[in-house]
Amino acid sequence: MNLNYIFPTPIWQDILSCDLYNIKMHILSERSNDDGRKVSNVNGWQSKSFSPDELMETPVCQFITALEKKIKLCLEDYGSFKKPVISNIWFNVNPTGAYNTTHVHTDSFLSGVFYVQVPSDCGDIVFERQAQDQYILGSHIRESTLLPSASQWKFTPKPNLLMIFPAWIPHFVEINNSSTKRISISFNILQV
Ligand SMILES: [Fe+2]
C-alpha cells in the first residue's frame, strides 16, 4: 500500500559557516556580566533576550545575517507571503549536568537554535509528539522510532548546525554528560 503523510511537522536544518570562536567568546563575555534567567534551563545559564539590532555590532551579527536568509526559505516552504522577523535572540551555556526541560516558545511562529560549541555527548535536542493520536497509539509502541508512531524524535547537535521548527512543538534538551560547556543561540521568529 502507499503510505501518505499528511499535516507533517517541518523541522529545518542547515550548516552555516560562522566564525564560532568569536561568537563563543562574545557569549562567554555576556555570561560574565549577566546572572541569566531561569526558564527551561536546569543548572545552565540562559542570557537575557536581545533584539537583532542590539547584536549588530557583535560577532553574532554574521549569524543573524545568515539566519535572515534562511528564515525566508522557511516561510516560502509554508507558502507564506509575509515577512519573517527575528523577534528575540538569547544565549545558552549548559555546563556538565545541565539540561532543559520540555517547553514550547509562546508568542512566536517559528523558533530555532544554532550550535556554537557542542562536545560529544552534550545532549540531543528532543522533540515530542503533540497530536491526538498519541492517546490511541498504545504504550506497546511508546519506544517506536517509526515516523507514524514515534513519540519522540532526536537530533544530535554539531557545530554550525542551524535548526528551525514550529514554535508550538514541545522539545527538551538532554543532560550534558561531557566535561565541556554546550553553547548555543536560540531565537524566535514572527511573520508580519
Ligand atoms: Fe526551546
CATH number where 31 lies: 2.60.120.620
Q: What are the Cα distances from residue 37, in Å, to 138, 144, 155, 164?
A: 38, 35, 25, 23
Q: What's the structural domain count of the chain?
A: 1
Q: How far is the CA of 176 from the centre of ligand 1 (A)?
A: 16
Q: How far is the CA of 117 from the centre of ligand 1 (A)?
A: 17
Per-residue pLDDT of 99-136, as tens digits, reads 999 999 999 999 999 999 999 999 999 999 887 676 67
What predicted TM-score, i.e. pTM, was given to this entire model?
A: 0.95
pLDDT in the model for residue 147: 87
Q: How far is the CA of 103 from the centre of ligand 1 (A)?
A: 6
The answer to the question of residue 1 being in a domain is no
Per-residue pLDDT of 165-188, as tens digits, reads 999 999 999 999 999 999 999 999
The answer to the question of residue 125 being in a domain is yes
More confident position, 137 or 95: 95
Domain that holds residue 95: 12-191
The answer to the question of residue 68 being in a domain is yes
The answer to the question of residue 6 being in a domain is no
The answer to the question of residue 99 being in a domain is yes
The answer to the question of residue 24 being in a domain is yes
Q: How far is the CA of 3 from the centre of ligand 1 (A)?
A: 31
The answer to the question of residue 3 being in a domain is no
Per-residue pLDDT of 71-80, as tens digits, reads 999 999 999 9
The answer to the question of residue 7 being in a domain is no
Task: Report the C-alpha gap between 188 and 24 in whole angstroms.
Answer: 20
Q: Could you tell me where the DSSP H helices lie in 106-156?
A: none
Q: How far is the CA of 170 from the centre of ligand 1 (A)?
A: 8
